[in-house]
Amino acid sequence: QPGASPGFAERVRQHKVRLEWVRAEPAGLRGAVRVLNLAYEKVVSVRYTLNGWASCAEAAATYQPPGPADGITDRFAFLLPLGAAAAAETALEFAVRYRVAGAEYWDNNEGKNYRLRGRQRVPPAAGP
C-alpha cells in the first residue's frame, strides 16, 4: 500500500496526487487517493481498463471528511465496479486524475499505470 511507505507525504506534496491504498472486495476494487489541497473545488477520478486500453471507463472519487490531520491534503475514496471481471483472470490497469484550479495532475505509477491481475479462487479441497 503506497500510503504506508516512507516519504509518502512528500510525494503527495511534490506530485499533487498519489494513490494511498487499494483492496479487492466482492463489489470491486476500493481505494483511497491523497491530493494536495490547492483549491476548494477539485475533481478526482480513476480511469481504468480491463482490456489493455482498447476501451476504458472512469469512476469518480468522493471526498472523505474529516481530512487527514496534516492540514494540507485531502482524501478521496473510489470504487471500481468490476463485477464478474474481478473474479476472472483479468488484468486491470488504472491511473488517478486530479483536476483543480484549471490544472490536471495524474498519478500513473511513474508512467507504468497501476496493474492488478485477478485470480480465480480455488475452493478448498474436500477432505478424505
Q: What pLDDT sits at residue 43?
A: 98
Q: What pLDDT sits at residue 64?
A: 95
Q: Cα-flanking dihedrals φ and ψ of residue 54, to 5°?
A: -65, -30
Q: Identify whether 30 is part of a domain.
A: yes
Q: Identify whether 125 is part of a domain.
A: no
Q: What pLDDT sits at residue 8?
A: 86
Q: Identify whether 28 is part of a domain.
A: yes
Q: What pLDDT sits at residue 26?
A: 87
Q: What pLDDT sits at residue 2?
A: 81
Q: What pLDDT sits at residue 5?
A: 79
Q: What pLDDT sits at residue 7?
A: 85
Q: What's the structural domain count of the chain?
A: 1
Report how far residue 19's alpha carbon sits from residue 94's, in angstroms, rounded to the nearest whole number: 11
Report how far residue 20's alpha carbon sits from residue 80's, in angstroms, rounded to the nearest whole number: 15
Q: Identify whether 88 is part of a domain.
A: yes
SS3 state at 53: coil
Report how far residue 73's alpha carbon sits from residue 121's, in angstroms, rounded to the nearest whole number: 37
Q: Identify whether 108 is part of a domain.
A: yes
The whole-model pTM stands at: 0.85
Give the domain extent around 35. Answer: 2-117
Is residue 91 within 8 A of residue 102, CB to CB? The reply is: no
CATH number, domain with residue 79: 2.60.40.2440
In the chain, which stretches have pLDDT less than 70? Answer: 84-89, 118-128
